[in-house]
A and B are shown apart, each in its own frame.
Chain A
Amino acid sequence: MASIAELMTHDHRSCDHDFARAETLANRKDWEAATLAFEAFANGLEAHFQAEEEDLFPRFEAVTGMTQGPTQVMRGEHVEMRASLMQLRAALANRDLDEFAGEAETLLIMMQQHNMKEENILYPMCDMRLGGERDALVNTLAIRLAPEHAA
């Protein structure tokens, strides 16, 4: 059975790969394919955010009593990344490569700083504190994540 950290880290990397595909296609100015790839990326990312916000974070908050703690910070960063996705979507619609490339660079580094915090700090805390219910939660999360990301 995978740990929460393993499952969610794997999904981060899958999202990264989706991101790279959209970026590659946009750089080639293959706008239609880039838009499709971008929407696949955005869907996968949104599924990841929702799995965290609706399943993982509430369980962590219930067990630790920390409702204003790390999960609150992560929710705030999700809001910022969703705003960045909107900018990218608009840049694609306008066929504006400069805007897309700059916004993509910004989202990438925002995403990776966020991932580092989750992978190094929050997920290991979840695995440690959610001991008994961990396996059931891993199953629930696995169902919610983008199916094409499954190992």
Chain B
Amino acid sequence: MSSANPGLAYEDTPPLSAPLRFFLTAPLFGLVAGLVLLFDGDLLASRWTPGALAVVHLFAAGFMLHVMLGALLQILPVVAGAAFPAPLRIAGVTHVLLGLGAAGLAFGLGSGTPSAIIAGAVLLAAGLGLFLAASLLGLARAAPAQGASRTPRDLRLALGALALTTVLGVVLAVALGRGLALPVALPTLVDLHAVWAWMGWGGLLLAATSWVVVPMFQITPAYPAGFTRFWAPATLVVLVSWSASLVADIGWLKLVLSALLLALASGFALQTIKLQRNSRRSTPDAPFRAFRLSMLALLGSLVALLVSLVSDAPQWPILAGVLVLHGTFAGAISAMLYKIVPFLTWLHLTQARIRAPNMKKLLPDAPVRKQLRLHAAALAALIVAVLLPVTTPLAGLLVAVEFGWLLANLLRAVRAWHQAANA
């Protein structure tokens, strides 16, 4: 029936364990990132310290990538009508490859072990390659009908940027681990990898998700049609041009295109904040506020990046990294997890014809609110630590507790699901 009924049936949604394994593994990487910060006080001295490289990849390849793949397993059928072939098997294999890859890569970068860097990068690339192939197969078989939403198109663009980020990452790993000679300078390749990850993969994905999530769940006006039509393609065009200017090393062009990228990113943040101010929901809940904080952190990171274009002081790129990875992405992702996980447990109970407790019984407000407050405190502590490195261990402790608590809250919803299922 699935061919006549692309992705619409609840039956087409994968078994709960497929996305859930990604959602429950993800916070562990944040927890480890916090511990690394706790025990390596000099980590934030520069973006090139081994500890900083490890923490960045624990956040990006660990936390972010895990949640993203879990969410895509769930959402591609709904927004694009694309059902994965053998979702449980794809989930099982990619989850293991991704987990080992992210852990190996972070360990290799942190300890300076070339073989671990290469093995980690290759495992990550293999997991992602498998996942992308399966999702492309699903998208190819999806009904061709297209709604007015730009989300399916922009999700594809984000996946493309992720593929490029991965390729650049593998090349970097081999260059670092085996001394592979590169046609461009190593720092140039690192910048390409980082900016494609940040704006291409992360930025486009956050935008594509926001087109749907912000108006629908926060009951705001829709993003202007012209804005969503052009934002992602324009960002991609500027990214490609910026990359060319970087490789060709044309100073003034790099600066102009970097400024354009910053303008596009701030346009997205400002547009989102404007919509959120017009939400019809009277009492913004904790995830809503966390999402708004994430947009403010995005704006803050852009200011830090702008300053870093003209100042050589090492703390500006670090500050930007903290605001983007922890402030923007970890914040927005935590907010979304708090909506996704209780709903999925509810959905699977309902599908099994069990009378499900409502979502706030599956995961009450109070622990969510407290954990998200801690997230804000951890972000503040990280910002202080960038300026005052001696406080880095405190920030690390807060980050570790933040992610441990996130995991505990998600497990609470899972436990409530088990109880309801076995009642």
Identify the A interface with B (CB < 8 A): 5-6, 9, 13, 16-17, 19-21, 23-24, 27-28, 66, 68-70, 73-74, 76-77, 80, 87, 98-99, 101-103, 105-106, 108-109, 112-113, 115-117, 119-125, 128
Of all chain A residues, the one with the shortest Cβ separation from B1 is A68
Contacts of A68 in B (CB 8 A): 1, 4-5
**Measured CA separation A139–B126 after assembly (Å):** 52
Contacts of A21 in B (CB 8 A): 280
Also in contact, A19 and B219, with CB within 8 A (given A106-B358, A119-B147) = yes
Contacts of B5 in A (CB 8 A): 66, 68-70, 73
Interface of A is mostly: helix
**Measured CA separation A68–B4 after assembly (Å):** 9
**Measured CA separation A21–B216 after assembly (Å):** 15
**Measured CA separation A24–B280 after assembly (Å):** 8
Which residue, of A66, A68, A106, A112, has the highest number of chain B Cβ atoms within 10 A? A106
Contacts of B78 in A (CB 8 A): 113, 116-117, 120
Identify the B interface with A (CB < 8 A): 1, 4-10, 78-81, 143, 145-149, 151-152, 212, 215-217, 219, 222, 279-283, 339, 343, 346, 350, 357-361
Q: Is the CB of A9 within 8 A of B346?
A: no
Contacts of B358 in A (CB 8 A): 87, 99, 102-103, 105-106
Contact of A20 (CB < 8 Å), options: B1, B219, B339: B219
Contacts of A69 in B (CB 8 A): 1, 4-5, 8
- List 20 extra interface pairs beyond A102-B360, A108-B217, A112-B216, CB under 8 A: A5-B147, A5-B148, A23-B281, A23-B282, A24-B281, A27-B282, A66-B4, A68-B5, A76-B10, A102-B359, A102-B361, A103-B358, A105-B360, A109-B339, A113-B78, A113-B343, A117-B78, A119-B147, A124-B145, A128-B145
Q: Is the CB of B10 within 8 A of A73?
A: yes
Of all chain B residues, the one with the shortest Cβ separation from A87 is B358
**Measured CA separation A9–B416 after assembly (Å):** 34
Q: Is the CB of B216 within 8 A of A120?
A: no
Contacts of B6 in A (CB 8 A): 70, 121
Of all chain B residues, the one with the shortest Cβ separation from A9 is B148
Q: Is the CB of A120 within 8 A of B80?
A: yes
**Measured CA separation A5–B146 after assembly (Å):** 11
**Measured CA separation A24–B279 after assembly (Å):** 11
Chain A min CB distance to B262 (Å): 31
Q: Is the CB of A125 within 8 A of B143?
A: yes
Chain B min CB distance to A75 (Å): 11
Chain A min CB distance to B116 (Å): 41
Chain A min CB distance to B176 (Å): 42
Q: Is the CB of A119 within 8 A of B148?
A: yes
For this complex, 20 residue pairs linking A to B, each with C-beta atoms less than 8 Å apart, are A5-B147, A24-B280, A24-B283, A27-B282, A66-B5, A68-B5, A70-B5, A73-B5, A73-B8, A106-B360, A109-B339, A113-B78, A117-B7, A119-B147, A119-B148, A119-B149, A120-B151, A121-B8, A124-B147, A128-B145
